[in-house]
Chains A and B, each alone.
Chain A
């Protein structure tokens, strides 16, 4: 594993002149963003404005029409394994298998991303799923699926968290503890990029950077 040529001026993740076109409609054009360690970035915009597309491009799942995403100053497709080791992406599909129990699901997802699995029970307790660890996920609700996926956040060593609508189907208490987790993550040098339609409650507005997407127009930080 080579060490990162990480000179301190480089942002953790940066988007350079991204253009995204979906269904012959321009979603955003020449979008450039720098995300540093410690940032909490909220992507805003009406439905269909390209929030998910932006997050998928940032995580490397989709290709932009033009422009590139850089991790530590390197294009992400050039350092795929290193980037993926430092990335945690949760899309709006939870990635939970109905045929496996909550614990097995979490164990698999942790191991797949190179994390330790010994303490998965503790993390399930943290997301209020204690007692459900042995139930098959197909018997659990959508919110509980979401919680199984989110439990990974407690174990993750990845600095970059990209979360698409993490609060969907999560109750108020859950949202509050997630917000606490996000600010703790930002404090220890990670960054969180998320989309949500709700305002963040416990994280102060000045701590949150916002990217507003609007389909007719360029977007920028405010």
Chain B
């Protein structure tokens, strides 16, 4: 009755009631175990879910648009005042819009048990987490980048600053998703972790905010802003390589 696993590789024809003809084998690697496959699998799933649950895409984008359009109404239409504060407005709005959308990154997966299944899959958690964060950026970060130049016109952003705005957003919003994911992973097991999440994540966002707005301001003066951009790029690559590890560890603690 008790068959050892070794004998299973040798015996080829074990009879089974179910028509699963494959013999259990603990050593044969499956064909579907490449990193790329795992990444694409999770990415496709998260994007499918987002497309069917459009709130995920529309909410942060709408928030971003509303905040930015309200500023000219509140401050007044003087071009000079607006263009002075435009970089700050756009970046603060982008930061808060990302913060607003972070909660969904792992929450629903945690609630329905699919997070457990991901942690138990033979794929490295690093890859799965990276795919989820990339999907999150595609859903929230990318639409912000696409709409930002239109809104920048509304608040009279200096015309020299547009390329700086786009570049900082392109490098900076992935950092927001990556760092935010650490906070979400830490608070996912807590019932009301919303406030805690903001407290954890906002201090980490401050360097991105400072350097991004500084780059845009410098560009408005017609000076080179490659220094600030390099620092944001360093933040991006640093968080790209380290954040998924931290997220994986945090998720293991949260599901413990």
Tell whether A and B belong to one assembly. Answer: yes
Within 8 A of B (CB), among A1-43: 1, 3-4, 6-8, 12, 36-39
> Taking the complex as formed, is B113 at the interface, i.e. its CB lies under 8 A from any CB of chain A?
yes
A72, A97, A109, A181 interface centre (most CB from chain B within 10 Å): A97
- Encoded as 1 (CB less than 8 Å from any A CB) or 0, chain B from 164 to 191 comes to 0000000000000000000000000000
User: In whole angstroms, how far apart are the Cα atoms of A39 and B116 in the complex?
Assistant: 25
> Taking the complex as formed, is B75 at the interface, i.e. its CB lies under 8 A from any CB of chain A?
no
Are A81 and B124 in contact, with the CB atoms below 8 A?
A: yes
A-B contact count (CB 8 A): 159
Are A112 and B117 in contact, with the CB atoms below 8 A?
A: yes
> Taking the complex as formed, is B5 at the interface, i.e. its CB lies under 8 A from any CB of chain A?
yes
Are A180 and B17 in contact, with the CB atoms below 8 A?
A: yes
- List chain B residues, Cβ under 8 A from A3: 27
> Taking the complex as formed, is B230 at the interface, i.e. its CB lies under 8 A from any CB of chain A?
no
A61-B255, A108-B41 as given contacts; A99 in contact with B52, CB under 8 Å: yes
User: In whole angstroms, how far apart are the Cα atoms of A159 and B25 in the complex?
Assistant: 7
Chain B nearest CB, measured from A84 CB (Å):
4
**Residues of B contacting A: mostly:** loop
User: In whole angstroms, how far apart are the Cα atoms of A116 and B111 in the complex?
Assistant: 26
User: In whole angstroms, how far apart are the Cα atoms of A114 and B118 in the complex?
Assistant: 12
- List chain B residues, Cβ under 8 A from A104: 45, 48
Chain A nearest CB, measured from B157 CB (Å):
37
User: In whole angstroms, how far apart are the Cα atoms of A65 and B14 in the complex?
Assistant: 40
User: In whole angstroms, how far apart are the Cα atoms of A92 and B24 in the complex?
Assistant: 25
Are A184 and B17 in contact, with the CB atoms below 8 A?
A: yes
A4-B26, A115-B30 as given contacts; A87 in contact with B120, CB under 8 Å: yes
User: In whole angstroms, how far apart are the Cα atoms of A180 and B2 in the complex?
Assistant: 17
Are A1 and B29 in contact, with the CB atoms below 8 A?
A: yes
Are B122 and A84 in contact, with the CB atoms below 8 A?
A: yes
Are B3 and A97 in contact, with the CB atoms below 8 A?
A: no
A94, A180, A184 interface centre (most CB from chain B within 10 Å): A184
Are A159 and B48 in contact, with the CB atoms below 8 A?
A: no
User: In whole angstroms, how far apart are the Cα atoms of A92 and B116 in the complex?
Assistant: 11
- List chain A residues, Cβ under 8 A from B7: 8, 189
Are A99 and B53 in contact, with the CB atoms below 8 A?
A: yes
User: In whole angstroms, how far apart are the Cα atoms of A25 and B230 in the complex?
Assistant: 53
Are B5 and A112 in contact, with the CB atoms below 8 A?
A: no
Are A93 and B113 in contact, with the CB atoms below 8 A?
A: yes
Are B30 and A37 in contact, with the CB atoms below 8 A?
A: no
B2, B25, B255 interface centre (most CB from chain A within 10 Å): B2
- Encoded as 1 (CB less than 8 Å from any A CB) or 0, chain B from 1 to 39 comes to 111111110000011111010111111111111000110
User: In whole angstroms, how far apart are the Cα atoms of A136 and B48 in the complex?
Assistant: 12
> Taking the complex as formed, is A60 at the interface, i.e. its CB lies under 8 A from any CB of chain B?
yes
- List chain A residues, Cβ under 8 A from B15: 187
- List chain B residues, Cβ under 8 A from A155: 20
Are B8 and A37 in contact, with the CB atoms below 8 A?
A: yes
Q: Point out residues on A near B: beta carbons under 8 Å.
A: 1, 3-4, 6-8, 12, 36-39, 59-63, 72, 81-82, 84-87, 89, 91-100, 104, 108-109, 111-116, 136, 154-155, 157-159, 180-181, 183-184, 187-190
A61-B255, A63-B256, A111-B41 known, 14 other contacts, Cβ within 8 Å: A1-B29, A37-B2, A37-B8, A39-B2, A84-B120, A89-B117, A91-B116, A94-B112, A109-B117, A112-B38, A154-B20, A159-B26, A189-B3, A189-B14
Can you list 29 A-B contacts (CB < 8 A)? Answer: A3-B27, A4-B26, A4-B27, A37-B3, A38-B2, A61-B255, A63-B256, A72-B5, A81-B122, A84-B120, A84-B121, A85-B30, A89-B120, A93-B112, A94-B113, A96-B113, A97-B112, A99-B48, A100-B52, A112-B42, A112-B121, A114-B30, A116-B32, A154-B18, A157-B25, A180-B18, A184-B16, A188-B3, A190-B24
